[in-house]
């Protein structure tokens, strides 16, 4: 029974250590992605609209 308790303790410690941020491994958070410009968003919306129109077109 002693070995089992030791097992769970080490498992809990491992879980705790993996959930904590490790110093040195993650130097700094990544900078936020640049916001997409209005033109990019408009182009994407237009692309989605055209694909939706094509997919919903009745088959002849």
| Residue 54 confidence (pLDDT) | 60
Which pLDDT belongs to residue 58? 64
Buried b (16+ CB within 10 A) or exposed e, 3-29: eeeeeeeeeeeeeeeeeeeeeeeeeee
The residue among 44 and 12 whose pLDDT is bigger is 44
CA distances from 18 to 11, 12, 14, 40, 49 (A): 11, 10, 6, 39, 44
Q: What percent of the chain has pLDDT over 90?
A: 0
Count Cα atoms within 13 angstroms, Cβ side, for 50. 5
pLDDT tens-digit readout, 14-51: 766 666 665 666 566 677 777 767 777 777 877 777 76
pLDDT of residue 41: 76
């Amino acid at each position: 029974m002693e070995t089992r308790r030791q097992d769970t303790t080490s498992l809990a410690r491992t879980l705790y250590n993996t959930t904590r941020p490790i110093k040195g491994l993650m130097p700094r958070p990544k900078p936020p992605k640049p916001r997409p410009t209005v033109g990019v968003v408009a182009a994407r919306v237009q692309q989605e609209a055209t694909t939706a129109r094509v997919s919903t077109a009745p088959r002849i």
